[in-house]
Amino acid sequence: MSTGQQIYQTGVTLAIAVAVPAGAVFYFRRVRVPRPPVGTFNGRDILVMMGFVLALPFVYLALPGWALPAVLALVFSGGLTVGYQPVVDRTPVRWAIILSLLAVDLAGHQLLGSDSPVYWIANSVVVGMIVVSATNLNVQGGMRLRHIAWFVLALAVYDLTFATVIPLTQKLAEAIQGYPFAPSAGLRVGGYSAVIGMGDLLAYALYSTASYKAYGRSGLRLAIVLVAVFGAILPTLAPPVIDAVTGHRPELIPAQVLFGPAAFVGYLALRRRGPERRMVELPPLPAAPVPAAA
Amino acid sequence: MLETGVRQVRVAMAMVFGRRMNPRLVERLVDDALATLHEFGSPGEDVEQLVDGPFSDPNERRDLQTRALRRTARRLRDKSAFYRERFAAAGVDPAELTLESLRKVPVTLKDDIVTRGADMMCADPYLSTQTTGTTGTPTRVWLSRYEIELWPALIALSMLLRGEVRPGDCMQINLSSRATAAVQEDVELLRLANASARLVGQVPPDESLDQLLDRTGAVPTLLSGYPSYIGQLVTAARRRGLGPDDFRLRSLFVGGEVLSPTLADAARDTFGVRQINDNYGVTELLPAGGRTCDGGHLHLDLNMGYSEVIGLDSGEPAGVGELGTLVVTPFYPYRECMPVLRYDTRDVVRVLPEELDCELAGVPAVSKILGKESRMLRTSAGIVGTREVVETLDTLPGIEWPSRFRAGVADDGRLHVVLAASGQSPSDVVKAFADRDIDATAEVVELSDDEVRRFCPLRCDLREETFTRAPAPKETP
């Protein structure tokens, strides 16, 4: 990989890794998602989430190639309609927007190919929006920074295991390659390419939003620095550095292996500031603008 | 959150299919509600549907209640000798029961429980509770362990979600200690809701006030008592010059007697309470009951029981605007040990229109209880209930609450009231009734404390003496 390609990969990865959590925090500060009458996120929900993380790759790999995009399209549309119901209240309008987004994504892939920048921009917008909504459903549902810190630490172990001991991650990357609705965001322009997985983006967005919820702007600042350094810069720079040192370039550096421990240490540092804020302790949302009288 | 969802589904399935509920499951839902309140400060959306049930659609309501009645009736046929006889005599098949065919089964009366209680037992008894007997022979009702565990959990859940009790609250319970079911239920639901209890009983009012003022331990924020006892507390507090700044009370829970608006306002002014929960509960029907809305309607719990209003004279369902007695069938699996079918409370209510404009409009309602059927006064101008008499007398300037009276119908068909009070004149009493368009004659008598309790016994007379203020016993040589 040339220096230019390396700079491109690091720059685009950094931009996406920071932009999506920023979007999630923006949403968090502006919108409240509906919640059930009773129920708040707890430690057992993390176990359930980890169960999904463990099971989903096997489900994806077990599906026939043609079924995978269909399943992903269903998941995407479901996630978008739940997450953006408070933003676009009218169901027909919301569904029209969602279907249009998915249509652009699909059309970009089918008409221009899986390396087309149009496809990747459309797909990245869809994936980013889903991550923003999924993050807010969880954090506004009572998920705490403590939960996320343990979750990303578990993800680090998971990623390390499935990237090195059992090569599942690589198989999965190969399985979804070439299909529309890839669960990843990025941009390919000519020979330049930068792609970041939806799971990684979700971990960054959850960690940043929960840090903001728990400790305000100072929590968010630390989270964004950790995401930028350990979630984007180091994972993209690690392969050439290792190559330079050892003469062997690793195919894949799972980002969570670097981000998980750093995020956990970040949580321990933030925890020293006191207990996490609860939803009830957050300042009220800014009032919606009142339409001017005619 | 996922766990809570699964628990809610399990409880909902038990409700819909009429299976026995696991009290531990409901208790864990209470924990979930506490966690929700801790994180968010309030329950989420559609909480009314969770608490009051999906009953705004009349067809859905009818369907759910028919199924609940059938399973309740089937169980009664299988386990209760008394009801097996009743169904056979009425020619009713419990499995095919409808809201219409239910009327073929004669109502159950208090005397039936007194005389045939043993034939109504459907599960192993654990705790007996007895009615106070203010309207006749006390009725003994047996409850199972399951009921004793389930009811507080269900009530704690709904009270937490409605904001009627909050973690950290402390309830002073001024109920008669013989009301074992109500007292046990309150203590247990407070434990589940992370609140505390001051079990005071019906001690002399001044001692109760001392407890309300006590700042050691948990300070009372909720007060539970009978209206007549609350009347005594208000009177005693005013005599001592106490006001809202002296108390930390937020809500008052009353039931079992008529609470007049005048006494309610006096309690608000004196204790500084913002919310008064005037609930309807009958020992024989627990946990089915009702609660009063701001519009003054009594909304009956549709989740746990089926309610009818039977016309006073017709014996048929009363129409809108008519008076009738409240007949209630608590559902299985809420009532297990000594269940009743079509229990006629003899409490008179007025049937209200289906469409109401109040905060509980989704739940059908009747008027507040107007009085016991045996105490309805059929004057020449119409029927006058105990509620009207109490509400009128409580407005008299200088009256000492609770009002004590006897009321009847004079030979000329007019209402005749004998008020036991000092400093009141018969003409003021007559005028107070006239202001309500009730033509009445009145007498005022002055009676000693003992005489007044015999003259007009109220629940506040179920006194529990203490040594705190009693004269010291004479020393024996």
Q: Are B161 and A35 within 8 A, CB to CB?
A: no
Number of cross-chain residue pairs from A and B with Cβ atoms under 8 Å apart:
75
Residue pair B424/B396 in contact (Cβ under 8 Å)? The answer is yes
- Res A289: pLDDT: 60
* Shortest distance, CA B436 to any CA of chain A (angstroms): 44
Residue of chain B whose Cα is closest to the Cα of A138: B1
Q: Are B39 and A44 within 8 A, CB to CB?
A: no
* Shortest distance, CA A192 to any CA of chain B (angstroms): 42
Partner A, chain B 1-60, Cβ-Cβ below 8 Å: 1-5, 8, 29, 32-33, 35-36, 38-47, 49-50
> What residues have CB less than 8 Å from B243, skipping those under 6 apart?
B237, B269, B270, B272
Residues of A within 8 A of B38 (CB-CB) are 40, 278, 280
CA distance A225 to A18: 9
* Residue in the block written with tokens 């007060």: B223
Instruction: Calculate helix-pair angle for A255-271, A145-160, nearest 10 degrees.
Output: 150
Comparing CA positions, the residue from B454, B160, B53, B107 lying closest to residue B307 is B107
Residues of A within 8 A of B8 (CB-CB) are 36, 38-39
Establish how many alpha carbons lie within 13 A of residue A156's alpha carbon, considering only the half-sphere containing its beta carbon. 18
Q: Are A40 and B8 within 8 A, CB to CB?
A: no
Q: Are A36 and B33 within 8 A, CB to CB?
A: no
CA distance A175 to A164: 18
CA distance B290 to B227: 16
* Shortest distance, CA B57 to any CA of chain A (angstroms): 20
Partner A, chain B 104-163, Cβ-Cβ below 8 Å: 161
* Shortest distance, CA A39 to any CA of chain B (angstroms): 5
Which residue type occupies B423? G
CA distance B24 to B33: 14
- Res A294: pLDDT: 41
Q: Are B45 and A35 within 8 A, CB to CB?
A: yes
Residue of chain A whose Cα is closest to the Cα of B32: A39
User: 3-state class of B55 per DSSP?
Assistant: coil
Optimal mutation site among B26, B40, B160, interface A, most CBs of chain A within 10 A: B40
Edge-to-edge, what's the strand order for the sheet holding B415-420?
B404-409, B415-420, B440-445
Q: Are A40 and B5 within 8 A, CB to CB?
A: no
Comparing CA positions, the residue from A271, A228, A6, A33 lying closest to residue A141 is A33
CA distances from B150 to A68, B13, B185, B287 (A): 47, 16, 10, 9
What are the phi and psi torsion angles at B115 (to 5°)?
Answer: -90, -30
Q: Which residues of chain B have pLDDT under 50?
A: 477
CA distance B453 to A90: 65
CA distance A65 to A60: 9
CA distance B347 to B374: 9
Residues of A within 8 A of B160 (CB-CB) are none
Q: What are the boundaries of each domain within chain B?
A: 376-461
User: Cα dihedral sign for A135, A139, A145, A151?
Assistant: negative
Regarding beta strands B323-330 and B343-350, do their DSSP bridges make them parallel or antiparallel, or are they unpaired?
antiparallel
Nearest to A39 among B1, B38, B49 (CB): B1
Which residue type occupies B144? S
* CA of residue B22 relative to chain centroid, distance: 26
| DSSP string covering B441-471 | EEEEE---HHHHHHHS--GGGS----SSSSP
What 8-state DSSP symbol labels residue B93?
Answer: -
Q: Are B2 and A44 within 8 A, CB to CB?
A: yes
* Shortest distance, CA A32 to any CA of chain B (angstroms): 11
* Shortest distance, CA B268 to any CA of chain A (angstroms): 29
Q: What CATH code would you report for B376-461? A: 3.30.300
CA distance A248 to A245: 8
Residue of chain B whose Cα is closest to the Cα of A40: B1
Which residue type occupies B2? L
Q: What are the boundaries of each domain within chain A?
A: 3-273
- pLDDT tens-digit profile, chain A (294 residues): 688 888 888 999 999 999 999 999 999 999 998 888 888 888 888 888 888 877 877 777 787 777 888 888 898 898 889 889 888 888 999 999 999 999 988 888 888 887 888 889 999 999 999 999 999 999 999 999 999 999 999 989 988 887 777 777 667 767 666 778 888 888 888 888 888 888 899 999 999 999 999 999 999 999 999 999 999 999 888 888 888 888 887 777 788 889 999 999 999 999 999 999 999 999 888 776 655 544
CA distance B203 to B180: 16
> What residues have CB less than 8 Å from A211, skipping those under 6 apart?
A145, A219, A220, A222, A223, A266, A270
CA distance B423 to B446: 9
Q: Are B35 and A42 within 8 A, CB to CB?
A: yes
Q: Is A142 on the interface with B (CB under 8 A)?
A: yes
* Shortest distance, CA A234 to any CA of chain B (angstroms): 35
User: 3-state class of B268 per DSSP?
Assistant: helix
Residue pair B241/B264 in contact (Cβ under 8 Å)? The answer is no
Residues of B within 8 A of A48 (CB-CB) are 2
* Shortest distance, CA B274 to any CA of chain A (angstroms): 23
* Shortest distance, CA A51 to any CA of chain B (angstroms): 13
Q: Are B36 and A45 within 8 A, CB to CB?
A: no
Optimal mutation site among A33, A38, A40, interface B, most CBs of chain B within 10 A: A38
What number of other Cβ atoms are within 10 A of residue B311's Cβ? 15
Residue of chain A whose Cα is closest to the Cα of B49: A37
> What residues have CB less than 8 Å from B234, skipping those under 6 apart?
B263, B266, B267, B270, B271, B401
Residue pair B276/B268 in contact (Cβ under 8 Å)? The answer is yes
Q: Which helix (H) or strand (E) holds A216?
A: helix A198-226
Partner B, chain A 70-129, Cβ-Cβ below 8 Å: none
Write out the two tokens for A17.
């890794």
CA distance A236 to A149: 22
Nearest to A38 among B36, B38, B41 (CB): B36
- Res A205: pLDDT: 96
Q: Are A42 and B29 within 8 A, CB to CB?
A: no
Q: Are A40 and B43 within 8 A, CB to CB?
A: no
Comparing CA positions, the residue from A159, A158, A135 lying closest to residue A147 is A135
**Strand ranges, E, within chain A:** 184-189, 192-197
Q: Are A39 and B36 within 8 A, CB to CB?
A: yes
CA distance A28 to B163: 27
CA distance B270 to B246: 9
* Residue in the block written with tokens 């905060």: B359
CA distance B294 to B301: 16
Residue of chain A whose Cα is closest to the Cα of B29: A38
User: 3-state class of B371 per DSSP?
Assistant: strand
| DSSP string covering B3-14 | HHHHHHHHHHHH
